[in-house]
Amino acid sequence: MGNFADFHARSIQDRDAFWAEQAQLVDWKVKPQQICDYSKPPFAKWFVGGETNLCHNAVDRHLAERADQPALIFVSTETDHEKTYTYRELHAEVQRMAAILQDLGVVKGDRVLIYMPMIAEAAFAMLACVRLGAVHSVVFGGFASHSLATRIEDASPKVIISADAGSRGGKVVAYKPLLDEAIALSAHKPAKVLMVDRHLADFTPAAGRDVDYATERAKHMDALVPCVWVESTHPSYTLYTSGTTGKPKGVQRDTGGYTVALAASMPYVFEGKPGGTFFCTSDIGWVVGHSYIIYGPLIGGMATILYEGLPIRPDGGIWWRLVERYKVNVMFSAPTAIRVLKKQDPALLTKYDLSSLQALFLAGEPLDEPTAKWISEGLNGKAIIDNYWQTETGWPILSICNGVEKAPSKFGSPGKAIYGYNVKLVDDQTGEELTGANQKGVLTIDGPLPPGNLQTIWGDDERFVKTYWKTVPGKLVYSTFDWAVRDEDGYFFILGRTDDVINVAGHRLGTREIEESISSHPNIAEVAVVGVADPLKGQVAMAFAIAKDTSGLTDATARLKLEGEVMKVVDTQLGAVARPSRVFFVTALPKTRSGKLLRRAIQAVAEGRDPGDLTTMDDPAALQQIVEQIKG
């Protein structure tokens, strides 16, 4: 198609002309008057003056040409359900959901929190919200009541949409008790809760508050709810993510920029074609699920598979069976899932007809070379494309863009900076740009961030500026908080986070949040949580805690009991996803003389590495205790 270097250079040097062209990939009710307003850095406004609607571009726009083509393919190996919705049927379901939300009082700008398992109604809910100009906030179903409560409080939703239960590995996971507890904990109370009853777990509806979805849907079978045209800069959704503090950040996305960014990524990054099928194995609770289970493929006129279930149930061939059955062209998953599959019978990779599959995209965590090689060989040399991005960016920052120009992948590298991203590596101490090959620096992006990236942190512009734009000395640049190097060919290699964020099986978690949860146990005085390398999950959380009352902790059984209690606290407050793999008890934590926790040193010894320079350490015996605990 062209030359990637020129394509990228044009996106930076001739930014507005480049994005004006991409804006033609989507429908506008009113065309934008200004492509990018960067008069108040670092706040970028894209396609100013334009009016559009995300749901229109994902659904309605396709009715003329592909009404009877599959749009949403729901597959649950948990409940043995499989149902395909054409664009026409999806359109009808979304309008029914939108009509229900309207009945519940939802209007443009209202927030709607979605706490749901991977079911088709979750997709209807998201699309119905943006159809009305309401701002959805999907909370990952694996999060428990405390995590959910902080998000309810911050987003202050008028309505919450939920379900009785999810299911994992054949076991019912009740959502409703966690939701009720979260609402009780939260200072903000939603006016209504819309409940999708899957009849998996009994529950008692809260009188006057809880509304039954099936009953309401039956009233609105023929609903016609037009899209509400919104300004390009109108927020489409917020999605909470973890950072350095214990308080999650509501990443706020616009409408026009996001629609254009996803529309452009379909041909250039994913080579997804209208009429094809996209299978993204993420969860709607994460950014990958927002962009590449729901919005991206639908904007691109593709069918998208929404899968509820494990990759190894009924057996390790389930995903490949779906590829064969639905003629999947583009697949998107995470390295952890591939590491799980690697333990299964390799014959499962060759059992099915995978001829439709063009490429497998992997993101969310580092893709290690053995895993990349295993899957690449197993899939007979199909393209395996590592891509790097963040909740904040909404779509990839680094990747090979085969839709622009075919390029080889390099093991261990997510490729080059994508069009629109002016990526620079900088020295964290001096702020100086590092232009030489293989120099380690912080991966930064010069403003304006391209379309689709976060506008701000919900309700907290100051935190947005301070968190992301003020960390590099002397420069207003966006920090990804990732270390990286770039080789002589311009390929980047990600080396890990610069902050206290850890990545467990592709799930981004803040160690501070876990520490705060553990500290709420009555017998915990202080705790440090670090991420430790794990062959399957990439990283796991490990906790080192000081008990208030150590008198009972003299024997291993008592320590195990307290460890179990601490894990339970994390399970019930944050969810099992955040549970530390181990909780060790110590009498002191390694700190600097000024009292700052030496997390890097703890992490190093927990991974059996040399902790490096310890001259600033107050009490070396504290680190020694950790070394001994790890040795067991």
Q: List residues binding ligand PRX (CB under 6 A).
A: 241, 287-288, 363-366, 386-391, 414, 480, 482, 494, 497, 503, 508
How are beta strands 210-212 and 383-387 bridged, if at all? unpaired
Q: Which two tokens stand for residue 538?
A: 């990439």
What's the closest the beta carbon of residue 285 comes to ligand PRX, in angstroms? 10
Residues in the chain: 632
Complex with ligand PRX: residue 115 or 292, whichever CB lies closer: 292
**Shorter beta-carbon distance to ligand PRX: residue 216 or 365:** 365
Minimum gap (Å) between residue 502 Cβ and ligand PRX = 9
- Report the DSSP beta bridge partners of residue 591: 597
Q: Which H or E run contains 150?
A: helix 145-155
Cα–Cα distance measured from residue 162 to residue 175, given in angstroms and rounded to the nearest whole number: 8
Tell me phi and psi for residue 23, to 5 degrees.
-60, -20
Residue number, 117 or 538, with CB nearest to ligand PRX:
538
Q: Are 49 and 30 in contact (CB under 8 A)?
A: yes
Phi, psi of 421 (to 5 degrees): -105, 115
Distance of CA 124 to the CA centre of its chain: 19
The helix (H) or strand (E) run that includes residue 402 is none
* Shortest Å, Cβ 497 to ligand PRX: 5
DSSP string, 225-237: -----EETTS--E
| Distance in Å, CB of 280 to ligand PRX, minimum | 11
Q: Using CA atoms, how far apart are residues 346 and 358, in angstroms rounded to an integer? A: 20
Instruction: Give the C-alpha separation, 602 to 590, whole Å.
Output: 7
Compute the distance between CA of residue 602 and CA of residue 525 in angstroms, rounded to an integer.
18
Minimum distance from CB of 341 to ligand PRX (Å)? 18
Instruction: Name which of 250 and 364 has its Cβ closer to ligand PRX.
Output: 364
Rounded Cα distance between 46 and 65, Å, is 28
Residue number, 151 or 508, with CB nearest to ligand PRX: 508
Provide, rounded to whole angstroms, the least separation between the CB of residue 570 and ligand PRX.
19
Letter string b/e over residues 176-215, b meaning 16 or more CB atoms within 10 A of that residue's CB: bebbbbbbeebeeebebbbbbbbebbebeeeeeebbebee
Between 319 and 389, name the residue whose CB sits nearer to ligand PRX: 389
Q: Which bin fits 452, alpha (ψ -120 to 50), beta or left (φ > 0)?
A: left
Distance in Å, CB of 496 to ligand PRX, minimum: 7
CB of 98 to ligand PRX, least distance (A): 29
Nearer to ligand PRX, 133 or 452 (CB): 452
Judged by beta carbon, residue 10 or residue 382, the one nearer ligand PRX is 382
Q: Which residues pair with 168 in a beta bridge?
A: 171
Q: Mention every residue, 6+ apart, whose C-beta is less than 8 A from residue 204.
A: none
Residue (337 or 524) nearer to ligand PRX, CB = 337
What's the token pair of residue 371? 């895993």
Tokens of 574: 């944050």
d(CA 280, CA 522): 42
| Shortest reach from residue 398's CB to ligand PRX, in Å | 7
**Of 232 and 336, which CB lies nearer to ligand PRX in the complex structure?**
336
Nearer to ligand PRX, 390 or 517 (CB): 390
Q: Cα separation of 375 and 399, whole Å?
A: 18
Is 232 or 390 the residue whose CB approaches ligand PRX more closely?
390
Please state the closest distance from residue 349 (CB atom) to ligand PRX, in A.
Answer: 22
Smallest gap from Cβ 396 to ligand PRX, in A, equals 7
Task: Please name which of 352, 347, 465, 365 lies closest in space to residue 412, comparing C-alpha atoms.
Answer: 365
Q: Name the nearest CA neighbour of 68 among 83, 84, 82, 88.
A: 88
Angstrom distance (rounded) from CA 413 to CA 406? 16
**Of the two residues 93 and 365, which places its CB atom closer to ligand PRX in the complex?**
365
Cα–Cα distances in angstroms (integers) from residue 629 to residues 485, 521, 586, 588, 598, in the given order: 34, 21, 8, 13, 17
Q: How far is the CB of 265 from ligand PRX (least distance, A)?
A: 13
CB of 386 to ligand PRX, least distance (A): 5
